[in-house]
Structure 1
Amino acid sequence: MANQNNLLMITGNDDTLLNHNTNTPTIPDVKRADFPEDFVFGAATSAYQVEGAWNVAGKGLSNWDVFTQCDPGKIADGSNGCTAINQYNFFKDDVALLKKLGLQSYRFSIAWTRILPGGRLSSGLCKAGIKYYNDLIDALLVEGIEPCVTLFPWDVPECLELEYQGFLSRRIVQDFCEFVEVCFWEFGDRVKRWITLNEPWSFTLQGFTLGLFPPSRGATALHLGNALKNFPLHRTKPGPRPISTAGNPGTEPYIVAHNLILAHAHAVDIYRKRYQTIQGGQIGMTNVSTWCEPLTDTEVDKEAASRAIDFMLGWFVAPIVTGDYPESMRENVGERLPEFTEEEEKLVKESYDFLGINYYTAHYTSNLPLQPGQPHNYQTDQRIKFSTERNGMPIGPPAGSEWLLIVPWGIYKLVTYVKNTYGDPIIYITENGVCEKNDKTLNVQKSLYDVTRIRYHNDHLLYLKKAMDKGVRVKGYYIWSLFDNYEWSEGYTVRFGIFFIDFVNGSLTRFPKRSAIWWMNFLAQKPVIPLKKQAKATDQNGQGSVKRLRSS
């Protein structure tokens, strides 16, 4: 853990919440009354992770439909999202659970190929897909729940991948614009918050550098092994084509990112010119970032920490705020980093009404000079070494995924950095959450006792409130996730939900974890069990009945 002198890179260290030198500081319990009345509390999911129904009612194939069935070895348990948690058929029950919890907003995504099965308007609209999302939106509004819609959470129409390699081609911009305009036209009278892209950094890094996401390009593509687990609903089937691992990680990530930013900017331009005045909504982009803390007090490590954020968050945020990439990227990447034309710069600059931030964890960062003979690619261009320990002390306790250490103070530093660096934007925390491993040796009763998750949300909310008290304009917070779901390359091996999903016996029953009850009481401003007593209240033997939050 950082010592007190080094804990804050961007502000003073007089804050009592930040003056801690252990991994488990004493932090008070948060209350709903600590936040403004108009502060939005919601929960988030995405289509491929929850909907299922991958080949029904005219839906077309997405890259993830093909990838998970053709190359299951890239998924930790060899699974796929063909069924996921079957929200396509259970959405009315799920909306009722949102209402029961008292959440004000539901962030979900619209599957491109459920609306345009052939990827573009000329290939035809899917009326069943439009009806599904109309029904979902209307069901939310009936219960007083605001829909927040993500337009691209990584599911590219497979036909566009085959035709011109998806986001590697500038042609994707036109097809994406056709898709989003259909969404604005069909749903914009009721959707007042749009997110064009979700975590474009993750899509770019995992798909075009590491090869772990479709289209699985990059020199360092890894195979995790096809360790199929006991999930009968999610076993893979033979796919229509093999996945190529060709690619140039020195250029392709930057090309893909450039096309993503242009697609975003054109979508915002369409919304602002044709729909925003009439429909009265807002539009932005969601980006993920860890907080990067300098490993030492040296200037080179401080510069490395700033550079690390530039290469993750700034890669996508700087263009839509300033019209160009961060200077550190221009310096390190050189001519491999695409240029915006004068017209594109005008289009891209200030192409947002709010910034969505997904925060999960933090790392220490130190300078790592480029070594002679090293290839130039996204990873070496950063010239950074990431670590999770300083002087033998971890930056935070572990969670269910190796990449996720619990570092609540990082959210304070991150949103404060965004305020100070990017002109004091309106911010929504569009994802924040923690996972536990999917331990099938536990019965359902034991699986519901997720005190770590309660502590995680409590502590992050307190640090977020502290940032708001210092002027950061955070307007909302979305839990990741409402349900245990399909977690991309981790499959069903980890659980992020505040609702437990029974995958093993095929029922997909939703059981509220202790965190769901905590959220319900928090939002209703009812007394909750103090966190220091939660562990004592846990039924260690898993005895007693399993209670469900009834949907009606």
Structure 2
Amino acid sequence: MANQGYTLLCLLVNFLNFLTRTEFDIFGHCNSPVTLSRRSFPKDFIFGTSSSAYQYEGATNEDGRGPSIWDIFAHDFSDRIADGSNGDVAEEFYHRYEDDVKVMKNLGFDAFRFSISWTRVLPSGKLSGGVNLKGINYYNNLINELLSNGLEPFVTLLQFDPPQALEDEYGGFRTVRDGVPIGPVAASSWLYVYPRGIQDVLLYLKSEYNNPLVYITENGMDDYNNETLPLQKALNDSMRIDYYHRHLWFLYKAIGDGANVKGYFAWSFLDNYEWGSGYTVRFGINFVDYSDGLKRYLKNSAKWFQNFLHT
């Protein structure tokens, strides 16, 4: 039951923007308290941040990894990516995870949610095609690094990057988009901001699914990647801070109403490759300088979380 609730919540929260609603009062009049901190939540509540393999790792042709559908799509149909880019390098998390994990620890997070690249472990998509031990070792080392820094690993088995070999053999997942806007749009055209929706979904789960154990594994918003902005202005992401504050307030209210929520993961730890938007939008609480060796800088939202988690 817990696993069913976990999966359902992940889907519902990530696609809140497609629910049929007509209310647009999302930034004001939510009566959120001036002071909201870790102490507002249960002692065993987990706060984490998130990533996904293709959007973060890079190293797509290293150490025996096979091609995913996104490796092929981003290269063969680059005209369908906003900036013609791909995830070949991304944030180089594959080579830089040790430094990034230390930042997570310093910010005060309890956990890190990451996905496993299917083709880094099973290059052909199947056990019959062989297991890539270098891929196994990478994830084993990442998990050990998290544990040694006091961070709990949360693993997503698949995040939109199934093997191309299985796509060729079986065809892919197909879905139909159907819905209306529910609030102001963020930088991604599919993302509408509606903080109260997080409370509504949780209470719906409580009512309709016997209040399952829930971890919110992804919640965040993007803004446009304005390359003309000076660095210090780019780090001043006040709208993102407001977004997190209001969503956490409605989460706090849902828990107060009895929702069985045990964790919340902010998306995303770093600016990342954002699928069809490429690098034209930024989701991270940490800034990645794509023009200067992928250097990382704390955004104000990261500092906000640090204060929130240490208060």
The residue type paired with residue 517 of structure 1 is K
Distance in 1 (CA, whole Å) between partners of 2:25 and 2:305 is 28
The residue type paired with residue 511 of structure 1 is Y
The residue type paired with residue 82 of structure 1 is D
Residue 276 of structure 2 is aligned to residue 489 of structure 1: yes
The residue type paired with residue 79 of structure 2 is G
- Aligned residues of 1:156 and 1:166 also touching (Cα < 8 A): no
- Please, which of 155, 159, 162 is the counterpart of residue 153 of structure 1? 159
**Residue 522 (structure 1) aligns with:** 308
Once the two structures are superposed, residues 303-345 of structure 1 have per-residue CA deviations (whole angstroms, 9 ceiling, x without a partner) of xxxxxxxxxxxxxxxxxxxxxxxxxxxxxxxxxxxxxxxxxxx
The residue type paired with residue 49 of structure 1 is Q
- Please, which of 40, 44, 47 is the counterpart of residue 41 of structure 1? 47
Distance in 1 (CA, whole Å) between partners of 2:180 and 2:142 is 43
Distance in 2 (CA, whole Å) between partners of 1:120 and 1:31 is 45
**Residue 324 (structure 1) aligns with:** none
Gapped regions of structure 1 (runs ≥ 5): 1-19, 168-203, 209-252, 254-377, 389-394, 526-552
Identity level (%): 48
Distance 1:33 1:447, change over 3 A: same
- Please, which of 92, 107, 112 is the counterpart of residue 106 of structure 1? 112
Gapped regions of structure 2 (runs ≥ 5): 1-23
How far 1:68 sits from its partner (Å)?
Answer: 0.4
Residue 191 of structure 2 is aligned to residue 443 of structure 1: no
- Please, which of 86, 89, 101 is the counterpart of residue 92 of structure 2? 86
**Residue 259 (structure 2) aligns with:** 472
- Aligned residues of 1:397 and 1:405 also touching (Cα < 8 A): yes
Distance in 2 (CA, whole Å) between partners of 1:83 and 1:487 is 13
How far 1:63 sits from its partner (Å)?
Answer: 1.0
Distance in 1 (CA, whole Å) between partners of 2:66 and 2:211 is 41
**Residue 339 (structure 1) aligns with:** none
Distance in 2 (CA, whole Å) between partners of 1:80 and 1:136 is 23
Once the two structures are superposed, residues 73-94 of structure 1 have per-residue CA deviations (whole angstroms, 9 ceiling, x without a partner) of 2211111001000000001001
**Residue 27 (structure 1) aligns with:** 32
- Aligned residues of 1:23 and 1:397 also touching (Cα < 8 A): no
Once the two structures are superposed, residues 156-213 of structure 1 have per-residue CA deviations (whole angstroms, 9 ceiling, x without a partner) of 1112222x2344xxxxxxxxxxxxxxxxxxxxxxxxxxxxxxxxxxxx4xxx3xxxxx
- Aligned residues of 2:25 and 2:183 also touching (Cα < 8 A): no
- Aligned residues of 1:42 and 1:106 also touching (Cα < 8 A): yes
- Aligned residues of 1:95 and 1:139 also touching (Cα < 8 A): yes
**Aligned partner of residue 240 in structure 2, secondary structure:** helix
Once the two structures are superposed, residues 248-285 of structure 1 have per-residue CA deviations (whole angstroms, 9 ceiling, x without a partner) of xxxxx4xxxxxxxxxxxxxxxxxxxxxxxxxxxxxxxx
- Aligned residues of 2:26 and 2:194 also touching (Cα < 8 A): no
Q: Which portions of structure 1, spanning 4 or more consecutive aligned residues, are displaced by more than 6 angstroms?
A: none
Once the two structures are superposed, residues 333-377 of structure 1 have per-residue CA deviations (whole angstroms, 9 ceiling, x without a partner) of xxxxxxxxxxxxxxxxxxxxxxxxxxxxxxxxxxxxxxxxxxxxx
Distance in 1 (CA, whole Å) between partners of 2:60 and 2:180 is 39
- Aligned residues of 1:23 and 1:396 also touching (Cα < 8 A): no
Residue 289 of structure 2 is aligned to residue 511 of structure 1: no
How far 1:22 sits from its partner (Å)?
Answer: 7.2
How many residues are aligned here?
286
Q: TM-score, normalised by structure 2?
A: 0.88
Distance 1:147 1:115, change over 3 A: same
Aligned positions of 1:206-225 closer than 5 A: 208=174
The residue type paired with residue 480 of structure 1 is W
How far 1:504 sits from its partner (Å)?
Answer: 2.1
- Aligned residues of 2:26 and 2:195 also touching (Cα < 8 A): no
**Aligned partner of residue 415 in structure 1, secondary structure:** helix
Residue 65 of structure 2 is aligned to residue 59 of structure 1: yes
Q: TM-score, normalised by structure 1?
A: 0.50
Distance 1:490 1:522, change over 3 A: same
Distance in 2 (CA, whole Å) between partners of 1:146 and 1:482 is 15
